[in-house]
Structure 1
Protein backbone atom coordinates (compact mmCIF):
# COMPACT_ATOMS: atom_id res chain seq x y z
CA UNK A 1 0.00 0.00 0.00
CA UNK A 2 1.35 3.42 -0.95
CA UNK A 3 2.49 5.61 1.91
CA UNK A 4 2.63 8.78 -0.20
CA UNK A 5 0.68 11.96 0.44
CA UNK A 6 -0.82 11.87 -3.05
CA UNK A 7 -4.49 12.44 -3.73
CA UNK A 8 -6.47 9.30 -3.05
CA UNK A 9 -9.70 8.30 -4.76
CA UNK A 10 -11.93 5.72 -3.08
CA UNK A 11 -13.64 3.45 -5.55
CA UNK A 12 -16.26 2.53 -5.18
CA UNK A 13 -26.26 -8.77 -5.57
CA UNK A 14 -49.67 -39.00 -3.30
CA UNK A 15 -50.88 -40.54 -5.60
CA UNK A 16 -52.00 -43.46 -3.81
CA UNK A 17 -53.88 -46.56 -4.65
CA UNK A 18 -56.95 -46.35 -2.51
CA UNK A 19 -58.27 -49.56 -0.94
CA UNK A 20 -60.86 -50.32 1.71
CA UNK A 21 -62.12 -53.36 3.59
CA UNK A 22 -64.75 -54.19 0.98
CA UNK A 23 -64.27 -56.99 -1.49
CA UNK A 24 -64.19 -54.53 -4.35
CA UNK A 25 -61.07 -52.44 -4.86
CA UNK A 26 -61.75 -49.00 -6.17
CA UNK A 27 -58.90 -47.39 -8.04
CA UNK A 28 -58.95 -43.67 -8.33
CA UNK A 29 -56.94 -42.16 -11.14
CA UNK A 30 -55.55 -38.78 -10.21
CA UNK A 31 -54.76 -36.19 -12.82
CA UNK A 32 -51.06 -35.27 -12.79
CA UNK A 33 -50.28 -32.04 -11.03
CA UNK A 34 -47.83 -29.70 -12.74
CA UNK A 35 -45.57 -28.10 -10.17
CA UNK A 36 -43.84 -24.81 -11.01
CA UNK A 37 -40.09 -24.91 -11.51
CA UNK A 38 -38.00 -23.29 -8.80
CA UNK A 39 -36.74 -19.87 -9.95
CA UNK A 40 -33.12 -21.03 -9.82
CA UNK A 41 -33.87 -23.77 -12.38
CA UNK A 42 -35.79 -21.45 -14.63
CA UNK A 43 -32.88 -19.02 -14.71
CA UNK A 44 -30.67 -21.72 -16.19
CA UNK A 45 -32.53 -21.37 -19.46
CA UNK A 46 -33.26 -17.68 -19.38
CA UNK A 47 -30.50 -16.93 -21.85
CA UNK A 48 -31.37 -18.69 -25.11
CA UNK A 49 -29.39 -18.80 -28.29
CA UNK A 50 -29.98 -15.67 -30.32
CA UNK A 51 -28.93 -14.22 -33.65
CA UNK A 52 -26.77 -11.13 -33.41
CA UNK A 53 -28.22 -7.88 -34.66
CA UNK A 54 -25.24 -5.72 -35.69
CA UNK A 55 -27.27 -2.54 -35.22
CA UNK A 56 -28.06 -3.41 -31.58
CA UNK A 57 -24.39 -4.19 -30.88
CA UNK A 58 -23.03 -0.99 -32.36
CA UNK A 59 -21.23 -2.91 -35.10
CA UNK A 60 -19.58 -5.29 -32.63
CA UNK A 61 -19.54 -9.07 -32.98
CA UNK A 62 -19.58 -11.68 -30.24
CA UNK A 63 -16.32 -13.44 -29.45
CA UNK A 64 -18.27 -16.69 -28.92
CA UNK A 65 -21.84 -17.88 -29.64
CA UNK A 66 -24.61 -17.01 -27.20
CA UNK A 67 -25.59 -20.45 -25.88
CA UNK A 68 -28.48 -21.64 -23.74
CA UNK A 69 -27.46 -22.20 -20.11
CA UNK A 70 -24.13 -20.34 -20.43
CA UNK A 71 -23.67 -16.96 -18.79
CA UNK A 72 -21.07 -14.51 -20.09
CA UNK A 73 -18.86 -13.76 -17.09
CA UNK A 74 -15.66 -12.03 -16.04
CA UNK A 75 -13.77 -10.97 -12.90
CA UNK A 76 -12.61 -7.37 -12.59
CA UNK A 77 -11.97 -4.38 -10.37
CA UNK A 78 -14.48 -1.59 -10.78
CA UNK A 79 -13.24 1.97 -11.14
CA UNK A 80 -15.83 4.67 -10.68
CA UNK A 81 -14.75 8.26 -10.97
CA UNK A 82 -15.46 11.17 -13.28
CA UNK A 83 -11.72 11.78 -13.77
CA UNK A 84 -11.53 8.73 -16.05
CA UNK A 85 -14.48 10.06 -18.02
CA UNK A 86 -12.67 13.38 -18.33
CA UNK A 87 -9.57 11.63 -19.68
CA UNK A 88 -11.71 9.73 -22.21
CA UNK A 89 -13.25 12.99 -23.42
CA UNK A 90 -9.82 14.60 -23.77
CA UNK A 91 -8.66 11.74 -26.01
CA UNK A 92 -11.95 11.58 -27.91
CA UNK A 93 -11.78 15.24 -28.87
CA UNK A 94 -8.47 14.59 -30.64
CA UNK A 95 -9.49 11.47 -32.61
CA UNK A 96 -12.92 12.15 -34.07
CA UNK A 97 -12.00 10.44 -37.35
CA UNK A 98 -11.55 7.06 -35.61
CA UNK A 99 -15.22 6.91 -34.52
CA UNK A 100 -14.23 6.09 -30.96
CA UNK A 101 -16.95 5.28 -28.43
CA UNK A 102 -16.54 5.93 -24.68
CA UNK A 103 -16.96 3.14 -22.14
CA UNK A 104 -19.79 3.61 -19.67
CA UNK A 105 -18.07 1.55 -16.96
CA UNK A 106 -14.35 1.59 -16.25
CA UNK A 107 -12.60 -1.44 -14.81
CA UNK A 108 -9.38 -3.47 -14.62
CA UNK A 109 -9.88 -7.02 -15.89
CA UNK A 110 -8.62 -9.96 -13.82
CA UNK A 111 -9.96 -12.71 -16.11
CA UNK A 112 -10.98 -13.26 -19.69
CA UNK A 113 -14.62 -12.81 -20.63
CA UNK A 114 -15.94 -16.38 -20.72
CA UNK A 115 -19.22 -18.30 -21.22
CA UNK A 116 -19.74 -20.15 -17.93
CA UNK A 117 -22.43 -22.83 -17.34
CA UNK A 118 -25.04 -21.70 -14.83
CA UNK A 119 -24.55 -24.68 -12.51
CA UNK A 120 -20.91 -23.64 -11.92
CA UNK A 121 -21.71 -20.12 -10.81
CA UNK A 122 -22.64 -20.73 -7.16
CA UNK A 123 -19.34 -22.45 -6.36
CA UNK A 124 -17.39 -19.92 -8.41
CA UNK A 125 -18.86 -16.95 -6.56
CA UNK A 126 -18.12 -18.73 -3.28
CA UNK A 127 -14.48 -19.18 -4.32
CA UNK A 128 -14.15 -15.52 -5.28
CA UNK A 129 -15.65 -14.40 -1.97
CA UNK A 130 -13.17 -16.62 -0.11
CA UNK A 131 -10.35 -15.03 -2.11
CA UNK A 132 -11.53 -11.51 -1.27
CA UNK A 133 -11.61 -12.43 2.41
CA UNK A 134 -7.82 -12.93 2.27
CA UNK A 135 -7.06 -9.53 0.71
CA UNK A 136 -6.38 -6.05 2.02
CA UNK A 137 -6.97 -2.72 0.25
CA UNK A 138 -4.22 -1.31 -1.95
CA UNK A 139 -3.75 1.49 -4.47
CA UNK A 140 -3.26 1.77 -8.21
CA UNK A 141 -2.05 4.64 -10.35
CA UNK A 142 -1.95 5.02 -14.13
CA UNK A 143 0.84 6.06 -16.46
CA UNK A 144 0.94 5.90 -20.24
CA UNK A 145 -1.50 4.63 -22.85
CA UNK A 146 -1.73 1.66 -25.20
CA UNK A 147 -3.94 0.41 -28.03
CA UNK A 148 -5.35 -3.09 -27.36
CA UNK A 149 -7.45 -5.40 -29.54
CA UNK A 150 -9.71 -8.30 -28.65
CA UNK A 151 -9.09 -11.97 -29.47
CA UNK A 152 -10.74 -11.92 -32.90
CA UNK A 153 -9.43 -8.44 -33.84
CA UNK A 154 -12.98 -7.10 -34.17
CA UNK A 155 -12.61 -4.31 -31.60
CA UNK A 156 -9.83 -1.91 -30.64
CA UNK A 157 -9.40 -0.15 -27.31
CA UNK A 158 -7.60 2.96 -26.09
CA UNK A 159 -6.48 2.24 -22.54
CA UNK A 160 -4.40 3.74 -19.74
CA UNK A 161 -1.83 1.42 -18.15
CA UNK A 162 -1.49 0.61 -14.47
CA UNK A 163 1.76 1.85 -12.93
CA UNK A 164 1.68 1.39 -9.15
CA UNK A 165 -0.26 -1.68 -8.00
CA UNK A 166 0.90 -4.21 -10.60
CA UNK A 167 2.27 -6.66 -8.03
CA UNK A 168 -0.99 -6.65 -6.04
CA UNK A 169 -3.05 -7.14 -9.20
CA UNK A 170 -0.77 -9.96 -10.36
CA UNK A 171 -1.17 -11.79 -7.05
CA UNK A 172 -4.98 -11.61 -7.29
CA UNK A 173 -5.04 -12.49 -10.99
CA UNK A 174 -2.98 -15.63 -10.41
CA UNK A 175 -5.50 -16.79 -7.77
CA UNK A 176 -8.36 -16.07 -10.17
CA UNK A 177 -6.48 -18.13 -12.77
CA UNK A 178 -6.41 -20.96 -10.24
CA UNK A 179 -10.19 -20.78 -9.85
CA UNK A 180 -10.71 -20.82 -13.62
CA UNK A 181 -8.26 -23.69 -14.09
CA UNK A 182 -10.33 -25.76 -11.67
CA UNK A 183 -13.13 -25.67 -14.26
CA UNK A 184 -10.72 -26.15 -17.18
CA UNK A 185 -11.45 -22.63 -18.40
CA UNK A 186 -8.88 -20.42 -20.16
CA UNK A 187 -6.74 -18.34 -17.82
CA UNK A 188 -5.82 -14.67 -18.21
CA UNK A 189 -3.61 -13.33 -20.97
CA UNK A 190 0.12 -13.86 -20.67
CA UNK A 191 1.92 -11.69 -20.07
CA UNK A 192 -0.76 -9.79 -18.20
CA UNK A 193 -1.01 -6.09 -19.00
CA UNK A 194 -3.23 -4.42 -16.44
CA UNK A 195 -5.13 -1.44 -17.78
CA UNK A 196 -8.50 0.23 -17.95
CA UNK A 197 -10.02 0.82 -21.37
CA UNK A 198 -11.47 4.27 -21.93
CA UNK A 199 -12.61 4.16 -25.55
CA UNK A 200 -13.34 1.51 -28.19
CA UNK A 201 -13.91 1.27 -31.92
CA UNK A 202 -14.55 -1.40 -34.54
CA UNK A 203 -12.35 0.54 -36.94
CA UNK A 204 -8.72 -0.54 -37.05
CA UNK A 205 -6.45 2.15 -35.71
CA UNK A 206 -4.02 3.38 -38.39
CA UNK A 207 -0.27 3.20 -37.95
CA UNK A 208 1.02 5.93 -35.71
CA UNK A 209 -2.13 6.21 -33.60
CA UNK A 210 -0.45 4.86 -30.47
CA UNK A 211 2.39 7.36 -30.78
CA UNK A 212 -0.14 10.18 -31.10
CA UNK A 213 -2.06 8.94 -28.06
CA UNK A 214 1.18 8.66 -26.09
CA UNK A 215 1.99 12.26 -26.99
CA UNK A 216 -1.50 13.26 -25.89
CA UNK A 217 -0.88 11.51 -22.56
CA UNK A 218 2.17 13.65 -21.88
CA UNK A 219 0.60 16.89 -23.06
CA UNK A 220 -2.98 16.59 -21.77
CA UNK A 221 -4.03 13.40 -19.98
CA UNK A 222 -1.21 13.15 -17.44
CA UNK A 223 -2.28 16.49 -15.98
CA UNK A 224 -5.59 14.86 -14.99
CA UNK A 225 -4.29 11.55 -13.61
CA UNK A 226 -0.82 12.49 -12.39
CA UNK A 227 -0.51 11.84 -8.65
CA UNK A 228 -3.96 10.25 -8.39
CA UNK A 229 -4.15 7.02 -6.40
CA UNK A 230 -7.26 4.87 -6.81
CA UNK A 231 -8.02 2.77 -3.74
CA UNK A 232 -8.91 -0.85 -4.50
CA UNK A 233 -10.95 -2.53 -1.77
CA UNK A 234 -13.03 -5.15 -3.62
CA UNK A 235 -13.10 -7.52 -6.57
CA UNK A 236 -16.15 -7.76 -8.81
CA UNK A 237 -17.80 -10.59 -10.73
CA UNK A 238 -20.19 -9.94 -13.60
CA UNK A 239 -22.21 -12.92 -14.85
CA UNK A 240 -25.14 -12.47 -17.19
CA UNK A 241 -27.32 -9.72 -15.74
CA UNK A 242 -25.97 -10.19 -12.20
CA UNK A 243 -23.09 -8.35 -10.57
CA UNK A 244 -21.31 -9.29 -7.35
CA UNK A 245 -18.95 -7.22 -5.22
CA UNK A 246 -16.64 -8.99 -2.77
CA UNK A 247 -15.13 -6.50 -0.35
CA UNK A 248 -11.68 -7.05 1.11
CA UNK A 249 -11.22 -7.44 4.83
CA UNK A 250 -9.78 -4.27 6.32
Structure 2
Protein backbone atom coordinates (compact mmCIF):
# COMPACT_ATOMS: atom_id res chain seq x y z
CA UNK A 1 0.00 0.00 0.00
CA UNK A 2 2.86 2.43 0.68
CA UNK A 3 3.97 1.95 -2.91
CA UNK A 4 0.50 3.10 -4.00
CA UNK A 5 0.79 6.13 -1.72
CA UNK A 6 4.20 6.94 -3.20
CA UNK A 7 2.83 6.65 -6.73
CA UNK A 8 -0.29 8.77 -6.19
CA UNK A 9 1.78 11.42 -4.37
CA UNK A 10 4.26 11.59 -7.23
CA UNK A 11 1.36 11.98 -9.67
CA UNK A 12 -0.24 14.80 -7.67
CA UNK A 13 3.06 16.67 -7.31
CA UNK A 14 4.50 15.93 -10.78
CA UNK A 15 4.04 19.50 -12.06
CA UNK A 16 5.31 21.11 -8.86
CA UNK A 17 8.37 19.08 -7.87
CA UNK A 18 10.18 17.41 -10.74
CA UNK A 19 12.60 15.18 -8.85
CA UNK A 20 10.59 13.35 -6.20
CA UNK A 21 12.25 10.08 -5.22
CA UNK A 22 10.60 7.08 -3.60
CA UNK A 23 12.24 5.90 -0.39
CA UNK A 24 12.89 2.17 -0.54
CA UNK A 25 14.02 1.59 3.04
CA UNK A 26 10.78 2.53 4.79
CA UNK A 27 11.16 2.76 8.57
CA UNK A 28 10.33 4.66 11.75
CA UNK A 29 13.46 6.00 13.43
CA UNK A 30 13.98 5.36 17.14
CA UNK A 31 17.41 7.00 17.28
CA UNK A 32 19.57 9.49 15.49
CA UNK A 33 22.30 8.30 13.19
CA UNK A 34 25.46 8.08 15.30
CA UNK A 35 29.07 7.03 14.92
CA UNK A 36 29.89 4.00 17.03
CA UNK A 37 33.45 2.86 17.63
CA UNK A 38 34.08 -0.50 16.00
CA UNK A 39 35.04 -2.25 19.24
CA UNK A 40 31.71 -1.20 20.82
CA UNK A 41 29.44 -2.58 18.11
CA UNK A 42 28.98 -6.11 19.50
CA UNK A 43 28.23 -5.00 23.06
CA UNK A 44 26.00 -2.15 21.82
CA UNK A 45 23.98 -4.60 19.71
CA UNK A 46 23.68 -7.02 22.64
CA UNK A 47 22.47 -4.19 24.90
CA UNK A 48 19.82 -3.28 22.34
CA UNK A 49 18.84 -6.94 21.91
CA UNK A 50 18.41 -7.41 25.68
CA UNK A 51 16.43 -4.18 25.97
CA UNK A 52 14.18 -4.62 22.94
CA UNK A 53 13.44 -8.33 22.56
CA UNK A 54 11.42 -8.43 25.79
CA UNK A 55 8.82 -6.10 24.25
CA UNK A 56 5.60 -7.36 22.72
CA UNK A 57 4.66 -6.94 19.08
CA UNK A 58 2.08 -4.25 18.41
CA UNK A 59 0.06 -2.51 15.72
CA UNK A 60 0.25 1.15 14.79
CA UNK A 61 -1.55 3.44 12.40
CA UNK A 62 -0.09 6.26 10.37
CA UNK A 63 -2.54 8.93 9.47
CA UNK A 64 -1.49 12.55 9.04
CA UNK A 65 0.70 13.78 6.23
CA UNK A 66 3.68 15.88 7.28
CA UNK A 67 6.70 17.47 5.59
CA UNK A 68 10.18 17.44 7.11
CA UNK A 69 13.61 18.74 6.16
CA UNK A 70 16.96 17.47 7.30
CA UNK A 71 18.95 19.70 9.68
CA UNK A 72 20.85 21.33 6.81
CA UNK A 73 17.60 21.93 4.89
CA UNK A 74 19.13 20.29 1.81
CA UNK A 75 16.43 17.61 1.53
CA UNK A 76 12.69 17.55 2.08
CA UNK A 77 10.78 14.43 3.09
CA UNK A 78 7.10 13.62 2.68
CA UNK A 79 5.89 11.39 5.49
CA UNK A 80 2.95 9.85 7.30
CA UNK A 81 2.96 10.43 11.06
CA UNK A 82 2.24 7.77 13.66
CA UNK A 83 -1.30 8.29 14.92
CA UNK A 84 -1.56 9.94 18.37
CA UNK A 85 -3.35 6.83 19.63
CA UNK A 86 -0.19 4.75 18.99
CA UNK A 87 2.45 7.36 19.78
CA UNK A 88 3.10 6.06 23.32
CA UNK A 89 3.95 2.55 22.10
CA UNK A 90 6.68 3.87 19.81
CA UNK A 91 7.83 6.41 22.40
CA UNK A 92 8.39 3.67 25.00
CA UNK A 93 10.65 1.80 22.58
CA UNK A 94 12.53 5.01 21.83
CA UNK A 95 13.08 5.60 25.55
CA UNK A 96 14.60 2.13 25.85
CA UNK A 97 16.91 2.83 22.92
CA UNK A 98 17.84 6.16 24.55
CA UNK A 99 18.97 4.32 27.69
CA UNK A 100 21.38 2.23 25.61
CA UNK A 101 22.54 5.33 23.72
CA UNK A 102 23.29 7.05 27.02
CA UNK A 103 25.28 4.03 28.26
CA UNK A 104 27.55 4.46 25.24
CA UNK A 105 27.67 8.26 25.55
CA UNK A 106 25.81 8.69 22.27
CA UNK A 107 23.31 11.39 21.42
CA UNK A 108 19.77 10.56 22.46
CA UNK A 109 16.76 11.01 20.18
CA UNK A 110 14.92 14.31 19.93
CA UNK A 111 13.24 15.73 23.05
CA UNK A 112 9.90 15.91 21.25
CA UNK A 113 10.09 13.18 18.61
CA UNK A 114 7.78 13.09 15.63
CA UNK A 115 7.48 9.42 14.73
CA UNK A 116 6.81 8.96 11.03
CA UNK A 117 7.59 7.00 7.89
CA UNK A 118 9.10 9.14 5.15
CA UNK A 119 8.07 7.76 1.77
CA UNK A 120 9.29 10.40 -0.71
CA UNK A 121 12.17 12.88 -0.77
CA UNK A 122 13.51 15.68 -2.94
CA UNK A 123 16.46 18.04 -2.89
CA UNK A 124 16.14 21.43 -1.21
CA UNK A 125 13.67 22.88 1.27
CA UNK A 126 10.29 22.48 -0.43
CA UNK A 127 8.09 22.57 2.66
CA UNK A 128 6.35 25.86 1.79
CA UNK A 129 5.61 24.64 -1.75
CA UNK A 130 4.31 21.31 -0.43
CA UNK A 131 2.11 23.04 2.16
CA UNK A 132 0.21 24.68 -0.72
CA UNK A 133 -0.69 21.19 -1.97
CA UNK A 134 -1.34 19.58 1.42
CA UNK A 135 -5.13 19.29 1.05
CA UNK A 136 -4.93 17.95 -2.52
CA UNK A 137 -2.25 15.45 -1.56
CA UNK A 138 -4.12 14.29 1.56
CA UNK A 139 -7.30 13.78 -0.48
CA UNK A 140 -5.46 11.67 -3.05
CA UNK A 141 -3.78 9.61 -0.33
CA UNK A 142 -7.08 9.11 1.50
CA UNK A 143 -8.52 7.54 -1.67
CA UNK A 144 -5.71 4.97 -1.50
CA UNK A 145 -6.20 4.45 2.25
CA UNK A 146 -9.95 3.93 1.96
CA UNK A 147 -12.50 4.48 4.70
CA UNK A 148 -10.07 4.30 7.60
CA UNK A 149 -7.94 7.17 6.25
CA UNK A 150 -5.03 5.43 7.98
CA UNK A 151 -2.21 3.10 7.04
CA UNK A 152 -1.84 0.31 9.61
CA UNK A 153 1.12 -1.94 10.18
CA UNK A 154 2.17 -4.61 12.60
CA UNK A 155 5.51 -4.02 14.32
CA UNK A 156 7.19 -7.36 14.93
CA UNK A 157 10.88 -6.43 14.81
CA UNK A 158 13.33 -3.60 15.33
CA UNK A 159 16.31 -3.19 13.02
CA UNK A 160 19.70 -1.69 13.80
CA UNK A 161 22.13 -0.83 11.03
CA UNK A 162 25.84 -0.48 11.68
CA UNK A 163 27.92 0.08 8.58
CA UNK A 164 26.96 -2.64 6.11
CA UNK A 165 25.57 -4.92 8.83
CA UNK A 166 21.96 -5.11 9.87
CA UNK A 167 20.82 -6.57 13.18
CA UNK A 168 17.21 -7.66 13.68
CA UNK A 169 15.58 -7.83 17.10
CA UNK A 170 12.38 -9.88 17.09
CA UNK A 171 9.65 -8.64 19.41
CA UNK A 172 7.78 -11.34 21.33
- Normalised to the residue count of structure 2, the TM-score between the two structures is 0.90
Per chain length, whose mean CA-contact separation is higher, i.e. which structure has more relative contact order (CA < 8 Å, sep 6+)? 2
Structure 1 equivalent of residue 169 of structure 2: 246
Displacement of 1:174 in angstroms is: 0.7
Structure 1 equivalent of residue 94 of structure 2: 173
Q: 1:184 aligns with which of 105, 124, 129?
A: 105
Contact 2:28–2:115, Cα closer than 8 Å, also in 1: yes
Structure 1 equivalent of residue 154 of structure 2: 231
The structure with the largest alpha-carbon Rg is 1
Structure 2 equivalent of residue 139 of structure 1: 59
Give ranges in structure 2 of 5+ residues lacking alignment: none
Compared CA separation, residues 89 and 115, structure 1 to 2 (3 A)? same
Structure 2 equivalent of residue 121 of structure 1: 41
Distance 1:166 1:204 in 2: 27
Contact 2:64–2:81, Cα closer than 8 Å, also in 1: yes
List aligned pairs for 1:1-80, cutoff 5 A: none
Structure 1 equivalent of residue 71 of structure 2: 151
Distance 1:105 1:133 in 2: 22
Contact 2:69–2:125, Cα closer than 8 Å, also in 1: no
Contact 1:144–1:161, Cα closer than 8 Å, also in 2: yes
Compared CA separation, residues 202 and 248, structure 1 to 2 (3 A)? same
Q: Deviations over 1:84-138 (max 9, x none)?
A: 1110111111222322111011110000111211111101110111122220011
Structure 2 equivalent of residue 93 of structure 1: 11
Runs of 4+ more than 6 Å apart: none
What is the alpha-carbon root mean square deviation over aligned residues?
A: 1.5
Aligned residues, how many? 166
Displacement of 1:227 in angstroms is: 5.0
Compare the two structures and name the one with the higher helix fraction: 2
List aligned pairs for 1:206-217, cutoff 5 A: 207-217=128-138
- Normalised to the residue count of structure 1, the TM-score between the two structures is 0.63
Q: Does 1:112 align with 2:26?
A: no
